[in-house]
Chain A
Amino acid sequence: MERVLVTGAATWTGGNLIRRLSQRDDMAVFAVDDRSPRIRFDADFRKLSLDGLDLARYILEVDPTMVVHLQSVHRTSEEGRRASSEDRILGSLGLFGAIERLTSIRSVIIKSDTAIYGASPRNPSVLAETTRPQGKPSRHQRDLAEMERFIGEARKVHPETVFTTLRFAPIFGPNVGNSISRYLTLPVVPTLLGFDPRLQFIHDRDAVDALEHAIDNPIDGIFNVAADGQMYLSRMLRLGRRIPQPLPGRMFDTALRAMTRFNVPAPDHLKGLMKHGRVTDTTRMHEDFGFTPTHTCRQTVLCGYERIDTNHDAT
């Protein structure tokens, strides 16, 4: 019997994953988050603060054989809200500290983000897992990079444990409401005048599939997870029948601040994404990780805008 601990149970992906895992007989799921889950699931849920010793103590108490670390950075950093930098990373620090003390741990799956590559005019057109990001890192990017450094330290202590880092492209689809998808599904989408970034997404179901695949087939390494293909923002909005509102830089900043007021949090790394875009190389995902998303980028976008049936089986 596998004992799986999932952090970030209140996130969209977390909720969907736990719901899927709790239906399986071969594992007991322990869900953790610091707020109540949005998606109902039938699993052992503990509400505790993710940034501190509580989480570490709980992990030692549960003694999991597998940890799925979805809330790898504090959600303030993802949403672009203020929190001191210590708070934002303490959760991961505590978690990896606890993992170092566990004896029966078999594999650790960490959800990272392709935002770790940042957005810079000097970045290559296609970002591979080994690419060194260029330019000044955003706060979110620094947090992600620091979190991935913790993995290296934990790996030294547990050389036999499998550490799978999945760098997800922005998750988009009918069952998520993360900040980027909420921004892109606004009726009028503010965009940067003169910039048409190339974007990549992963369907929410494919994201959960990828996590489940990692649970079933533990493979050590870092993998970009994104749907096949890519999309220019202008084309994406046209597919979604959304109206783009091109704004020059300063006004774009103002629009993002206004959006935050109306409860559409705009992450601080959003501007870079809207300027330079981000496309990752998914060869490793296909070949080494052995996972192929069922939706292409175009299908993901259409699903996200509910232009085609949500449960459409991609051909």
Chain B
Amino acid sequence: MMQRDLTSLTKRELYGMARDRDISGRSSMSRSELVEALRPPPTEPHEDDNPEVEVVEDDFDVDGIGSVPLPGISPEDRAEARARRTALEDRLSQFVDQSRHCSWTSIEGHPCGLPVLAGTDRCGLHGDGSIADRPIPLTGSLGFSSWPTLWRHLTLATYDPDAFGLDPVVAEMTWSVLNRLYYDYFRVEVEGIENVPSNGGAVLVANHGGAAVPYDGAMLALAVMNEAEPPRRVRVIGTEIFNMLPFVSHLYRKVGAAYAGRDDARELLKRGHLLGVFPEGERGFMKPVWEAYRVGRLGRGGFADLAQDAGVPIVPVAIIGSEEVHPAVMVSKRLAQLVRLIFPEQRVEEIAIALNPIPLPIRWKIRFLPPVEPSGDGEPIDGLEQLERVEDVRRSIQTALDDMLAHRTTAF
């Protein structure tokens, strides 16, 4: 079959294929020699082949000559993503009662008209504020079809953002857009979602990466929104740089993130939210590619202190994918100096340089590890105990990362 297809091609096309497969001596081969060389290799692929090449061979499609063989997203992946998105929609629509509508009317006379949350009399926007913790699609469906309704509420400002600036409407719109990235592009697989408590606060501590864009924060939040039963919002906290950057400064709040100040974190936990923390911080974010998946120092371990004070568990999270999306080929202190010169308020130590402007389609895996409960007496922990707990968390994340990497066949 393969043989016949190959023989029907012109020499030029065969040569192109040979170049793609990097067959040595191809330039001096005749047409028949090329056909011979291009035959599917009977031997096993070499063990030291890097995963990228392997995928190229798997996906190799003779009819598709001329198109760039992209690593990753196959039609099966796409079909699976679509199925997962539909399943999510079905699951989420149960939380909304389409038969009744919210009776709220604004003082200027705009009716609300959204369907109510199942078991209550109000919609998510005008109810008891549970929307800040439980992201339920306001119209019952998650997608572009609900955008006109959402847009109306956005422009009429029929609701208040929560104390940290979460705007449920903007958050939902972003959620539906980012789900494309989550299901179709990064094809995130989640394990151990049952370790995330379904009620009350918890601190989710994860390894950090990204070099250019903190995708891991978004993916962590989406993982809990999409997979947890019932869905919950993770309030990821970030440094003050988010407050300084134009456009980011308000968008990151509107989608539910918050500033990583001690007061904010404590207040979020007091209100029973899930707190997403990347204690490696900028150091982890700017990790060069040769240090990927080596969990660095977890900041000063303030999260252990916070969790103990609030009496909430720590859930370590291991994320595979974030540290390869923009592989940093170089880490520059000079460039950071330059940035500081232009933006003196910015506290950047070093800047990672990645060569790819678009993120690589890495297959992500997020594993939620068994929670570390706060010590029973609720007393504040001393420095040594805090260090031990931080080290425990760090080690468990590192072990999980190593395990997931060892069992991974391909990055794409």
Contacts and interface: CB of A to CB of B under 8 A. Distances in A.
B107 A308 contact: yes
Contacts of A205: none
Nearest to A193: B246
Interface stretch (A34-42, A213-221, A295-303): A295-303
A299 B247 CA distance: 27
Interface string A267-290: 000000001100100000000000
A247 to B, nearest CB: 12
B157 A125 contact: no
Interface residues of A, number: 35
A302 B163 contact: no
A126 B155 contact: no
B89 interface: no
A291 interface: no
Given A121-B244, A194-B249, A302-B107, A230 B160 contact: yes
Interface in B148-182: 154-157, 160-161, 163-165, 167
A314 B244 CA distance: 37
A125 B163 contact: yes
Interface stretch (B26-34, B259-267, B279-287, B290-298): B259-267
B13 interface: no
A122 B250 CA distance: 14
Secondary structure dominating the interface of A: loop
B258 A125 contact: yes
Which bracket fits the contact residues of B?
20 to 34
Contacts of B259: 121-122, 124-125
B243 interface: yes
Nearest to A307: B108
Given A125-B164, A125-B165, A299 B267 contact: no
Given A124-B263, A194-B249, A232 B108 contact: no
A253 to B, nearest CB: 16
Q: Which of A192, A196, A275 has its CB near the most chain B CB atoms (within 10 A)?
A: A196
A197 B244 CA distance: 12
B326 interface: no
Given A198-B253, A276-B243, A302-B108, A124 B264 contact: yes
Contacts of B155: 238
Contact of B264 (A126, A231, A275): A126
Contact of A312 (B107, B161, B245, B264): B107
Nearest to B154: A235
A195 B250 contact: yes
Interface in B231-255: 240-241, 243-247, 249-250, 253-254
30 contacts: A121-B240, A121-B244, A121-B345, A124-B259, A124-B261, A124-B263, A124-B264, A125-B163, A125-B164, A125-B261, A125-B267, A126-B164, A126-B264, A128-B263, A194-B246, A195-B250, A196-B249, A230-B163, A231-B157, A232-B161, A232-B165, A232-B167, A232-B250, A232-B254, A235-B154, A238-B156, A276-B249, A279-B163, A298-B157, A302-B107
Interface of B: 107-108, 154-157, 160-161, 163-165, 167, 240-241, 243-247, 249-250, 253-254, 258-259, 261, 263-264, 267, 345
Interface of A: 121-126, 128, 131, 192-198, 229-232, 235-236, 238-239, 275-276, 279, 296-299, 302, 307-308, 312, 314
